[in-house]
Structure 1
């Protein structure tokens, strides 16, 4: 049972990868070149072999060695033909190193340059200040003297302004009220008297030329109010009591 468990199935053996995993094609080429130098001296101890034969055998040996290495390695999980070329890999490495160098240089400048520039900036500011002190004032400023009377007037006006504003508001309100009253009075004056008011005016004040002019025929046929009252009293046999004249003081009234 243990022997059977330790054995691998044929499918697992086929899927198992025996090639060597490498991460850099450039480093592998450098190692191959080192081993090629060793292989070049492998036939130096064979004096019986001709030089041309040595060259052909050595060339074939190096080619077989290089082909065997390329067939039995994987560069980042890819075959030798599918992996990036050495030049592209070198360019990527050079670009990364250049970027790192640039970042380091920029950081160094940010730290060092402000300290180097600061003394020059201070020196320039001091020089500009000295140059400004050499200039003379072309126009001398004149002192403005305040007038005490004018200042008093301004204070009085400022203090009286709120009261004047309130009075102005009240005047505007009273003007509006007066205007409304005047409009009402104009309406009353322009009103024409009614027939009943004319008749009452005639009975109270008597006949006048102005009051008789607008009278109509129906109004003329009407009886005066006093006469109508007397007729009503006579019809109802009613006589209003008359006031007795009062005698002088001390006289006895007749019983």
Structure 2
């Protein structure tokens, strides 16, 4: 009996699972990377004559052994690390199943909801029709008689409108032309004679300097004064 109990206790101890249960590989990888940063400083206190190459090799072996040990002592959703699917695959499977469920639910609603809504729509239409039957016409509509004279006036105005518009356009164009001509005349009146024209007028009409300056200042050339004849000179000798 004691031997059997010892064997059963030994088998129970063997079957007992000591590995850590986790739900995501991603979380374990993040923790491993976090502690790797701490392990990289494990060999910083070595003597100065310690070879750098040996230090680098030992550090790589330490980090690799640490990662392998963590993966060996972890169960992802009850499965070993190598057999457990990645988080991306699990998320893709979840999205596909969610999409399938959504499509099925939408199809079911499209098939069943119109049948459920139809009685309510019919009931609402019947109620609205009954309410409309309760209304009565309190004011009788009066027929509007058309005035023939007013219609003739409106027709005449409509026929004369294009001609009036054309006349208005012509008046506006003539006003613009007159304005342009007036501006040109003002420009001509404001111009002053050149020095060459003054010399020609001096030679032709015999102006003095004072009259030339006045003509240049006022913008015009005064007419030549006729020679005044005295009373005695006008008589024949």
Report the TM range for the smaller structure's normalisation. Answer: 0.3 to 0.5
Q: Name which one, 1 or 2, has greater alpha-carbon Rg.
A: 1
